[in-house]
Amino acid sequence: MSLLRNITSGLRSLFRKEQVNRELDEELGEYLEMAAVEKMKQGMSRQDALRAVRLEGGSLDGTKEIVRSGGWESVVDTLWRDLLFAARMLRKSPGFTLVAMLTLALGIGGNTAVFSVMNTVLLRYLPLPNPQQLVFLRLPNAPPDGVSSTGDVDRSFSYPVFEALRKEHAVFSDLMAYVPLAVDKVAVRIGGDPEEAEGDMVSGNFFSGLGVSFTRGRGFALEDETAHASVVVLSYSYWTTRFGRSPSAIGQTIYVKGVPFTVIGVTAQGFYGVEPASSTDFWIPLQNRPELTAWDEEPSLDTLYGTPKWWCIQLIGRLVPGVTESQALAKLDPVFQSAALIGLGTPDPKAKKNILAFSSTQGIQGLREYYQKPIQILLAMVGLVLAIACANVSMLLVARNSTRAREFSVRMALGAGRGRLLRQTLTESFLLVAGGAAFGWMFAISGSQALAAWSGMEIPFVLDSRVLLFTLAISISCAIIFGLAPLRRAVSVPVGVTLKTSNATAYRDQRSSWSGKVVVASQMALCLVLLVGSGLLVRSLRNYQTLPLGLRVDGLLVFGTDPFSVHSDEEKEHFYQDLLARLREAPDVESATLVSHRLGSGWGWNSVWTIDGVEPQGPFSEIGMSANHVGPDFCHTLGIPILRGRDVTDADTRSAPKVVLVNETFSNRFFPKGDALGHSVGKNKPENSFTVVGVIGDSKYKRVDEKSKPTLYFPFAQNTPIPNMQVELRTHSNPEALIPSVHAVLHGLDPNLPIQKPMTQRAQFDKSYSQARLFARLSIFFGVIAVLLVATGLYGTLAYRVDRRTSEIGVRMALGAQHGQVLWLILRESLLVSGAAILAGVPVAIAGARLMRSMLFGVQPGDMISFLLALFGVILVALAASIIPARRAMRVDPMVALRYE
């Protein structure tokens, strides 16, 4: 109650200041009057009485000031006045204000954007209730021998293991299973045209256990899982892009690989699945149909729902509150051990131990390990930019405040305390930083969107409260540093000195001119470190871009197919022969071929084959081979040179004699005499033997930066079972212009067939070093900002110093100094500073470059060219920033300079 009254009364004096003042005046006036009347009764004249009262009680204004400062509102009032005054001072020098705010905005915005990436990838929990209780289940020792697993060996479990573990209600309040319908996207049809989308099959408790909320409709129930119900839940983003957020989406039918599903719900905004590196578009309950196998595997007894032989489903559990991870694992272990052996017969006592483990759900699965180091380096780089920006702004402030030394001296002489001046400069720097942070936040919003786009991530980098806190923290520390640094200089000047001397020769001491040089030198040193870092990354990128790929990469279009309605090898061979024949007829298509593993996609097929029936001996690194299924005209279409023998042709069918092409590395390693042709390569059974009919040039397979491996190219129909194939088309025109005609051809074959991930082969290869490109681009960006900041900082400092030395230069010139000597006077200073910066910066840069080793490609951390370029860059900046002030110094007219004094 009294607090409330205190506040209302305080607010009243703030907002009805005049009335409150008048009342106080009246009350105090009355008090004086009464006291005076009292004195007059004792015989004083009125004038004497009033004077005596004032002598005793102090002046009316003084008393008013005391009373007014008693309430909390007076603090607000002075703060407000400080703010108004600071704003007025900043408005008076708009150039300074704008430059300072923009500089800060760049620094703060850059840091915020990079931190938002770090937050999303490394720190943030899934946007679900109590996310700390969620754990991923892991298999650090891989699944038992004798079962097949997925590419995610350390996180894929079997159905029996899931069924056994989900009953452990003392450990998990819920255990959820999810398994993708395909490695990537799956064929989907909504209405007329086929397309593709990313879908998972999940257990019935998936949504309820995670605590996902729904925008529309409902999630799954356990009955949906046991009945393998034909219902589907859409993600918010898929609902948005595909259905335009129409409420009528509920109840519609979606054909997944031709099987109809009814939409029953849409998840809440912000939920992208539990592994949000790429967002999941829809979820269906676990299915037992042969069309809908986990990971789109060929249906067989060992790949259907419920099999113990295929470890394919991934698990995420919600721990019962109060159960620690180690307690949980101890309780689960016996259950897991027996469930892991279901269906595997008697266990081999020497077999490796099966281990169950948990991993945190913080950050993004799969990206955390991959991006941790680069993000930290990036954060360090952008931190350097902020340091340079801060140094710039504080130098600006120092320069500005030392010209204000007179103002400060006058105010101190008039009785302002140092505390009052301190508060004033602090308020000004807070205003500057607040403006900078506001601009910076806007930068960060667009910056983080750009980062998301560049890095190819499908989820947005959210600027949440943690990021906001980070921004506020760095901004406030900036503000405090800025506020204190310049003031120390300004108030340490003795009042008398400043008031007596003229502006031009205003107080200068050796120490302060030193500290300016030190700041500029350290800025340049930081800039050098940044430039070395960007130089190394850019040279790595050049190496990626100019690496010979071993094939003619331009003019190629690649896309995937998934003929899910075609099953037998016979049908499949026919389907692809038909497809190739139709595509060759399409306009602008020069030639067409097939590959099972798309080049440059990072996926590959690695194994060991026998040569002439004998398995080569040695470590896998030496005898391991890559292989690919390829179509007719493979070398011709891709532009790979044939060294000996022939290309794959239309005649290499399933019934024709089995043949294989090998690459040059294969030939050199296993047939050093160059007589590979005619030998045989095989696997397991004698009838699985292929005759080498061609030796072709080495070309890049999985990614740009791989080493050449012995590689085999099998005609696609001869090495069964025939997998789904990717199509490569060569054209004279723009490859992407072929996409519509490809659509038409596919539609003619089967209206349910989508065209999967069509892109140029060049773009596909570029993707294999997209991370390197992203970081190279960003580091160039940061490097350029650093150079600009350092250049403006150095220019500002030098210009300011030349300005102050005008009279000195005038005297020198009057005494006969030549232009060259004056020029040297100024240049020498900046060269000395650069020299010091280089001496300090090179060791730091060497250390920094070592930390970046893992991000470099084909460049050593000590790369001379990068260092020389960076040194050259720094010196160039120093010279460029000195030229204008130096020329101004040369033009000083001795007479004018002296008269000015």
Partner 1 sequence: MADKPSDLVQGTLDMLILKTLALEPMHGYGISVRIEQMSKGVFRLNAGSLFLAIQRLERDRLIDGEWKPTENNRRARYYTLTAKGRKRLDSETREWSRQVTAIARILEAS
Compute φ and ψ for 786, nearest 5 degrees: -60, -45
- One-letter amino acid at 252 equals Q
Q: Which residue of 16, 21, 27, 900 would you call a contact of partner 1, by CB under 8 A?
A: 27
Which among 59-67, 179-187, 344-352, 606-614 is the span making contact with partner 1, rule CB under 8 A?
A: 59-67
- One-letter amino acid at 317 equals G
Taking the C-alpha atoms of residue 238 and residue 230, their distance in angstroms, rounded to an integer, is 19
Query: Does residue 445 touch partner 1 according to CB under 8 A?
Result: no
Minimum distance from residue 61 beta carbon to partner 1 (Å): 11
Q: Which residue of 18, 56, 369, 687 would you call a contact of partner 1, by CB under 8 A?
A: 56
Query: Does residue 34 touch partner 1 according to CB under 8 A?
Result: yes
Query: Does residue 44 touch partner 1 according to CB under 8 A?
Result: no
> CA geometry: angle at 505 spanning 500 and 507, to 5°?
65
Compare residues 42 and 326 and give the one whose CB is closer to partner 1.
42
Give Dmax over CA atoms of the chain in angstroms: 138
Question: Integer distance in angstroms from the first to the last C-alpha of the chain?
Answer: 66
Q: Which residue of 11, 15, 38, 651 would you call a contact of partner 1, by CB under 8 A?
A: 38
Compare residues 6 and 502 and give the one whose CB is closer to partner 1.
6
Compare residues 37 and 79 and give the one whose CB is closer to partner 1.
37
Minimum distance from residue 1 beta carbon to partner 1 (Å): 7
Compare residues 57 and 697 and give the one whose CB is closer to partner 1.
57
3-state helix, strand, coil in the chain (%, to 5): 55, 15, 30
For residues 212 and 202, the answer to whether their CB atoms sit within 8 Å is: no
> CA geometry: angle at 709 spanning 704 and 710, to 5°?
140
- The SS3 of residue 134 is strand
Query: Does residue 58 touch partner 1 according to CB under 8 A?
Result: yes
- Containing H/E element for 802? helix 770-804
Query: Does residue 642 touch partner 1 according to CB under 8 A?
Result: no
Structure tokens belonging to residue 617: 């001996």
Compare residues 34 and 222 and give the one whose CB is closer to partner 1.
34
Compare residues 56 and 687 and give the one whose CB is closer to partner 1.
56
Query: Does residue 1 touch partner 1 according to CB under 8 A?
Result: yes
Taking the C-alpha atoms of residue 617 and residue 13, their distance in angstroms, rounded to an integer, is 93
Minimum distance from residue 79 beta carbon to partner 1 (Å): 20
Compute, in degrees rounded to 10, the torsion defined by CA atoms 499, 500, 503, 508.
Answer: -90
Minimum distance from residue 9 beta carbon to partner 1 (Å): 5
Which among 58-66, 251-259, 375-383, 747-755 is the span making contact with partner 1, rule CB under 8 A?
A: 58-66
- The SS3 of residue 378 is helix
Taking the C-alpha atoms of residue 757 and residue 752, their distance in angstroms, rounded to an integer, is 16
Which among 4-12, 230-238, 442-450, 681-689 is the span making contact with partner 1, rule CB under 8 A?
A: 4-12
Compute φ and ψ for 789, nearest 5 degrees: -65, -45
Structure tokens belonging to residue 67: 């009373």
Structure tokens belonging to residue 773: 């490109």
Q: How many residues bind partner 1 (CB under 8 A)?
A: 28
How many Å separate Cα 166 from the centre of its chain? 36
Minimum distance from residue 379 beta carbon to partner 1 (Å): 50
Taking the C-alpha atoms of residue 209 and residue 135, their distance in angstroms, rounded to an integer, is 12
Compare residues 38 and 509 and give the one whose CB is closer to partner 1.
38
* C-alpha dihedral sign at 73, 79, 80, 85: positive
Compare residues 6 and 860 and give the one whose CB is closer to partner 1.
6
Query: Does residue 136 touch partner 1 according to CB under 8 A?
Result: no
Compute, in degrees rounded to 10, the torsion defined by CA atoms 392, 393, 399, 400.
Answer: 160
Query: Does residue 512 touch partner 1 according to CB under 8 A?
Result: no
Compare residues 63 and 770 and give the one whose CB is closer to partner 1.
63
Query: Does residue 509 touch partner 1 according to CB under 8 A?
Result: no
User: In terms of Cα–Cα distance, which of 154, 296, 265, 188 is closest to 755?
Assistant: 188
Which among 60-68, 389-397, 819-827, 876-884 is the span making contact with partner 1, rule CB under 8 A?
A: 60-68
Taking the C-alpha atoms of residue 42 and residue 631, their distance in angstroms, rounded to an integer, is 124
Taking the C-alpha atoms of residue 337 and residue 418, their distance in angstroms, rounded to an integer, is 73
- The SS3 of residue 684 is coil
Minimum distance from residue 27 beta carbon to partner 1 (Å): 5
Query: Does residue 63 touch partner 1 according to CB under 8 A?
Result: yes
Compare residues 33 and 554 and give the one whose CB is closer to partner 1.
33
Minimum distance from residue 67 beta carbon to partner 1 (Å): 5
Q: Which residue of 9, 208, 327, 665 would you call a contact of partner 1, by CB under 8 A?
A: 9
Query: Does residue 333 touch partner 1 according to CB under 8 A?
Result: no
Structure tokens belonging to residue 139: 């298999």
For residues 136 and 299, the answer to whether their CB atoms sit within 8 Å is: no
Compare residues 35 and 844 and give the one whose CB is closer to partner 1.
35
Compare residues 42 and 854 and give the one whose CB is closer to partner 1.
42
Compare residues 23 and 569 and give the one whose CB is closer to partner 1.
23
Compare residues 58 and 456 and give the one whose CB is closer to partner 1.
58
Query: Does residue 62 touch partner 1 according to CB under 8 A?
Result: yes
Which among 56-64, 150-158, 358-366, 549-557 is the span making contact with partner 1, rule CB under 8 A?
A: 56-64
Interface positions, 602-631, toward partner 1 (CB under 8 A): none
For residues 709 and 582, the answer to whether their CB atoms sit within 8 Å is: no
Taking the C-alpha atoms of residue 47 and residue 33, their distance in angstroms, rounded to an integer, is 11
Compare residues 2 and 621 and give the one whose CB is closer to partner 1.
2
Minimum distance from residue 417 beta carbon to partner 1 (Å): 20
Structure tokens belonging to residue 209: 């256990």
Minimum distance from residue 17 beta carbon to partner 1 (Å): 15
Which among 39-47, 64-72, 319-327, 421-429 is the span making contact with partner 1, rule CB under 8 A?
A: 64-72
Query: Does residue 35 touch partner 1 according to CB under 8 A?
Result: yes
Which among 20-28, 668-676, 740-748, 844-852 is the span making contact with partner 1, rule CB under 8 A?
A: 20-28
Alpha-carbon Rg for the chain in angstroms: 38
Taking the C-alpha atoms of residue 256 and residue 200, their distance in angstroms, rounded to an integer, is 11
Taking the C-alpha atoms of residue 69 and residue 88, their distance in angstroms, rounded to an integer, is 24
Compare residues 34 and 651 and give the one whose CB is closer to partner 1.
34
H helix and E strand count, the chain: 28, 26
- Containing H/E element for 833? helix 819-851
Query: Does residue 42 touch partner 1 according to CB under 8 A?
Result: no
Q: Which residue of 25, 33, 48, 650 would you call a contact of partner 1, by CB under 8 A?
A: 33
Three-state DSSP string of 712-749: EEEECCCCCCCCCCEEEEEECCCHHHHHHHHHHHHHHH
Beta strands in 117-171 (DSSP E): 134-138, 148-149
Taking the C-alpha atoms of residue 190 and residue 188, their distance in angstroms, rounded to an integer, is 7
Query: Does residue 665 touch partner 1 according to CB under 8 A?
Result: no
Query: Does residue 31 touch partner 1 according to CB under 8 A?
Result: yes
Q: Which residue of 14, 28, 380, 831 would you call a contact of partner 1, by CB under 8 A?
A: 28
Per-residue binder mask for partner 1 (CB under 8 A), 67-106, x = binder: x--xx-----------------------------------
Q: Which residue of 16, 21, 46, 66 would you call a contact of partner 1, by CB under 8 A?
A: 66
Compare residues 55 and 815 and give the one whose CB is closer to partner 1.
55
Minimum distance from residue 450 beta carbon to partner 1 (Å): 54
Q: How many CB atoms lie within 10 A of CB 65?
A: 13
Taking the C-alpha atoms of residue 172 and residue 332, their distance in angstroms, rounded to an integer, is 10
Query: Does residue 61 touch partner 1 according to CB under 8 A?
Result: no
- Site residues (vs partner 1, CB under 8 A): 1-2, 5-6, 9-10, 23-24, 26-28, 30-35, 37-38, 56-58, 62-63, 66-67, 70-71
